[in-house]
Amino acid sequence: MRLLAVLGSLLLPVLANAQYQMVKEYIGDSFFDDWAFYNNNDNLTNGNAFFVSAKEASQDKLAFVNDAGNAIMKVDNTSNLNFNDNRNTIRITSTDRFTVGSLWIADMLHVPYGCSVWPAWWSSAPNWPAGGEIDTLEGVNQVTMSHMALHTAPGCVQSNTSVETSTLVNTTDCSTLANNNEGCTVTTPGASYGPAFAAAGGGVFVTEFASKGISIWFFNRTSLPQSLQGNASTVDTSTLGTPTGNWPSDGCNINSFFEPQQLVFDITLCGDFAGTASIFQQTCTGICYDDWVLGSPSNYDTAYFEVQYVRVYGQPGELTVIPSGGVRSAGTAAVFTVLVAVVAAVTLAW
Ligand SMILES: *[C@@H]1O[C@H](CO)[C@@H](O)[C@H](O)[C@H]1NC(C)=O
Ligand SMILES: *[C@@H]1O[C@H](CO)[C@@H](O)[C@H](O)[C@H]1NC(C)=O
Ligand SMILES: *[C@@H]1O[C@H](CO)[C@@H](O)[C@H](O)[C@H]1NC(C)=O
Ligand SMILES: *[C@@H]1O[C@H](CO)[C@@H](O)[C@H](O)[C@H]1NC(C)=O
Ligand SMILES: *[C@@H]1O[C@H](CO)[C@@H](O)[C@H](O)[C@H]1NC(C)=O
Ligand SMILES: *[C@@H]1O[C@H](CO)[C@@H](O)[C@H](O)[C@H]1NC(C)=O
């Protein structure tokens, strides 16, 4: 039955209305297996953070799997720092890349927050900004809602044909050269960040990276659709309702502004966004580095991600995963045959 079902869906034309099959799962004790740890200062966004190596993250329990089986990624909340020191935290990037025609889901119980804290769950192409960036969740300091955004080369905008539930549109030009690289930003309404997110039992973010456009859904724990409960091995986006944020291809040609994406979790401190005085002062007092990064480490007790899983899906019949160092093969008959053989072998092995 399963074999027939899988083969059947492979043979369908790819017009299939946004039906996706799981291709990769980051969960439980193997959650951290296929990510690269940055192991350097934040030389990307000028944060007062040192992103530790995998070894250090494990030793210092900055990245680990807790007793509940969830992945924790956190800021050091035990060390007192000397002036000029950076605080240890994490930045991890998936070793696989995922092409247009992918969808990813992150189920989180807690996201990092607090003065100076700037976390994100996002993706980008190694070739930035030409290969594009998709921010699914980003927040700073003590804001109460997270936001979503795209960052691209000039020429990509959120068009007015967008169909999305959020009415909080901040900016529509996705170019990194516009509005100080704010991206085309949509604020995520509801308990999408901070203490309210945690108090509501967290939520689930779904990111669809499709040639017809990019869409992001945010569901709190009680609004999670039936189709995403349990270990959904397939996702049909028609069961998810209207997305929270939507960037249709008529304003941004996804195939030309985006290349295969690597998934990223990071938490930096202060830096270009959280530390900008006008932004910082909206929700915090004092000086970002002096008063918070150098201050009591207990400021960082809430600066952690707790993630139940990340799942990545691809459109059936398409090769959407590019393994570390690998190159995606063209969709030739030979590749198709190999794929069918692999699927058949895997299916028979179940
Ligand atoms: C950041 O530092 C790493 C390690 O030294 C280096 O490989 C990378 O090129 C640097 N990136 C930037 C943007 O400076
Ligand atoms: C959408 O934008 C296009 C191009 O700028 C414009 O011609 C059209 O009037 C706009 N439609 C609406 C409903 O605002
Ligand atoms: C975006 O707009 C919302 C609603 O007006 C506001 O609360 C938020 O601070 C803005 N976010 C950014 C990053 O400008
Ligand atoms: C969860 O989402 C639903 C639907 O958007 C909303 O009615 C409800 O108030 C939300 N709950 C919380 C705690 O935000
Ligand atoms: C979902 O998958 C996890 C990890 O593989 C497993 O522990 C759990 O029992 C599964 N749950 C269901 C409802 O199948
Ligand atoms: C650090 O924060 C964690 C929660 O992330 C908390 O369980 C722990 O008690 C804190 N450690 C210290 C020394 O305060």
Task: Domain ranges for the chain, please list them.
Answer: 1-18+331-350, 20-319
Cβ–ligand 1 contact at 36 (below 6 Å): no
133 as an active site residue: the answer is yes
Residues recorded for the chain? 350
- Is residue 288 within 8 Å of 245, Cβ to Cβ? no
Q: Which of 133, 208, 306, 318 is catalytic?
A: 133
Residues 6+ apart with CB under 8 A from 63: 32, 37, 54, 57, 71, 72, 73, 74, 90, 92
Assess whether pLDDT exceeds 80 at residue 155. Answer: yes
Assess whether pLDDT exceeds 90 at residue 337. Answer: no
pLDDT at 8: 37
Spatial strand order of the sheet with 184-187 comes to 35-37, 91-94, 262-269, 117-124, 133-138, 147-151, 184-187
Pairing of strands 87-89, 49-51: parallel
Which residue's CA is the closest to the ligand 3 atom numbered 8? 187
Three-point CA angle 84, 85, 86, nearest 5°: 120
CA distances in angstroms from 306 to 64, 95, 203, 262, listed in the order given: 10, 21, 11, 20
The DSSP-derived string for 65-119 is E-TTS-EEEE---SPPPPTTPPEEE-EEEESSEE-TTEEEEEEEEE---STTEEE
Give me the residues paired with residue 67 across strands: none
pLDDT at 18: 86
Pocket of ligand 5 (CB under 6 A): 27-28, 230-231
Find the 170 Cα to ligand 3 centroid distance in Å: 6
Which residue's CA is the closest to the ligand 1 atom numbered 4? 40
Find the 173 Cα to ligand 2 centroid distance in Å: 15
In CATH, which of 1.10.150.120, 3.30.70.270, 1.10.10.10, 2.60.120.200 is domain 20-319? 2.60.120.200
Which of 220, 240, 242 is the best mutation target for the ligand 4 pocket, counting ligand atoms within 8 Å of the beta carbon and taking the most?
220
Question: CA-to-CA distance for 53 and 350, rounded, in angstroms?
Answer: 36
Pocket of ligand 6 (CB under 6 A): 74, 77-78, 298, 301, 304
Find the 159 Cα to ligand 2 centroid distance in Å: 8
Tracing tokens 């019949």 back to the chain, one arrives at 317
326 falls in which pLDDT band (50, 70, 90)?
Answer: low
Q: Residue 265 belongs to what H/E stretch?
A: strand 262-269
208 as an active site residue: the answer is no
φ/ψ (deg, to 5) at 291: -90, -20
Question: Which one is predicted more confidently, 2 or 70?
Answer: 70
Write out the two tokens for 172: 């529509």
For the CA of 199, the closest atom of ligand 4 is 13
pTM: predicted TM-score of the whole model, two decimal places: 0.89
pLDDT at 331: 29
Summarised one tens digit per residue, pLDDT across range 179-224 is 999 999 999 999 999 999 999 999 999 999 999 999 999 999 999 9
Q: What rounded mean pLDDT belongs to the chain? A: 90
